[in-house]
Amino acid sequence: MTALLLNGKELASKKREQLKKDVEQLASKQVVPGLAVILVGEDPASQTYVRAKEKACEQAGIHSVLIKKPNTITEEELLAEIERLNHDSSIDGILVQLPIPEHISEQAVIEKIAPNKDVDGFHPINIGKMMTGEDTFLPCTPFGVVEMLKEAEIDIAGKHAVVVGRSNIVGKPVGQLLLNENATVTYTHSRTKNLRELTNLADILIVAIGKPEFVGAEDVKEGAVVVDVGINRVDGKLVGDVDFDSVKDKASYITPVPGGVGPMTITMLLENTVLSARKRS
Ligand code: NAP
Ligand code: L37
């Protein structure tokens, strides 16, 4: 079998066209969605993603401000910046690009963001709402993954989804969203003993570990849907956590890297920002 491509880049661009129209409609009501992105330090990957987010906002007509802070910023200063944005009526969404320097508490930063501006969906209140299936901001990467599956009309209900990786930003929430869609979910991680047996049971396999081409054809069930969240730079080239060339002959659907989940992550951020602006009171 040769897998069909889950083309994130294409879906992202279709969604961004629609967003542009939504933003125009809001503008006729004098509402311009605003996103503030805070970048601390000089991490090259984060710089690339933040730049891509700025550009995407610009194309969609979303007002965006990039706030760059040096590595030496104190936690107190960063929290004060967030507090200022919480009260800025031109800002509907606040995103602090992770990772942040070790001397600053990630949890303190996330909890400082007003839940109604938390377009990353990382605030404990929003995580709680996601778990109970209440309407809330969904974390961008997991949200993008589910949107790709839905666009391809892949049935999730009743399927066995195996998630490799349990980070707060990808693995845990993507498993929760698939559970909300009535999948049976298995989480795996670095302490899992029979990892490759478990991945072989997956109807839907989500891989988010950050290990280049970790999952090969032998780890995948014939006909499985394979979503590769990983982004690794190897010899100047981007590769996922899945060995695309071998797995594509066994899977029914597969996401490429680049051009898969990455562009969807950015698009769902824009969607969350527009959603937040719509709820502005
Ligand atoms: P992370 O915070 O580093 O977490 C990695 C997870 O993978 C951890 O749960 C870890 O287990 C698990 N893991 C590591 N090695 C493993 C192994 N050999 N076997 C099984 N599990 C293993 O990473 P992340 O932030 O979730 O990101 C994962 C990947 O996705 C990275 O490549 C990142 O660049 C990419 N990413 C892409 C997007 C996108 O939009 N496409 C967005 C975010 C991240 P423990 O918990 O036991 O340590
Ligand atoms: N929302 N996203 C949010 N909050 C965070 O705190 N760290 C983080 C986060 N992660 C993130 O933005 N990841 C991400 C990863 C990849 C892309 C975008 C965002 C992306 O566009 N990837 C392209 C290739 C980009 C490149 O050339 O490097 C792709 O096609 O996959």
Domain contains 84: yes
Pairing of strands 232-234, 237-239: antiparallel
| Minimal-distance CA residue to ligand 1 atom 36 | 230
For CA atoms 177, 181, 187, 189, give the dihedral sign.
negative
**Whether residues 164 and 237 fall in one domain:** yes
Alpha helices in 87-180 (DSSP H): 106-112, 124-132, 140-151, 171-180
Q: What is the CATH number of the domain that holds 234?
A: 3.40.50.720
CB 193 within 8 A of CB 219: no
How far is the centre of ligand 1, averaged over its atoms, from the C-alpha of 208 (Å)? 4
Domain contains 133: no
pLDDT at 66 over 90: yes
pLDDT band at 273 (very low <50, low <70, confident <90, very high): very high
Q: Who wins on pLDDT, 85 or 280?
A: 85
**Whether residues 38 and 77 fall in one domain:** yes
In sequence order, what E strands does 52-178 have? 63-69, 93-96, 160-164
Unique residue bearing structure tokens 């992105």: 37
Domain contains 178: yes
In sequence order, what E strands does 166-276 have? 184-188, 204-207, 225-228, 232-234, 237-239, 253-254
CA distance 192 to 251: 23
**Whether residues 100 and 161 fall in one domain:** no
| Residue 119 alpha carbon, nearest atom of ligand 2 | 1
Domain contains 158: yes
**Whether residues 89 and 165 fall in one domain:** no
Domain contains 13: no
Domain contains 127: no
**Whether residues 59 and 143 fall in one domain:** no
Q: Mean pLDDT, the chain, as a whole number?
A: 98
| Count of structural domains, the chain | 2
Catalytic member of 15, 92, 97, 117: 97
Sequence-separated (6 or more) residues with CB below 8 Å from residue 249: 1, 2, 3, 217
Concerning whether 120 is annotated as a catalytic residue, the answer is: yes
**Whether residues 102 and 172 fall in one domain:** no
With residues binned 3-state (H G I as helix, E B as strand, rest as coil), the percentages for the chain, rounded to 5, are: 45, 15, 40
Concerning whether 53 is annotated as a catalytic residue, the answer is: yes
How far is the centre of ligand 1, averaged over its atoms, from the C-alpha of 80 (Å)? 30
| For residues 81-90, average pLDDT | 98
pLDDT at 281 over 90: no
**Whether residues 100 and 211 fall in one domain:** no
Joined together, the tokens standing for residue 35 give 């996103």
Residue 252 is given by DSSP the state S
Closest CA to 169 of 192, 204, 138: 138
**Whether residues 167 and 225 fall in one domain:** yes
Q: What is the CATH number of the domain that holds 91?
A: 3.40.50.10860
Query: Tens digits of per-residue pLDDT, 201-257?
Result: 999 999 999 999 999 999 999 999 999 999 999 999 999 999 999 999 999 999 999
**Whether residues 100 and 45 fall in one domain:** yes
Domain with 220, as residue range(s), is 139-262
pLDDT at 97 over 70: yes
Query: Tens digits of per-residue pLDDT, 243-269?
Result: 999 999 999 999 999 999 999 999 999
**Whether residues 175 and 254 fall in one domain:** yes
Query: Tens digits of per-residue pLDDT, 132-191?
Result: 999 999 999 999 999 999 999 999 999 999 999 999 999 999 999 999 999 999 999 999
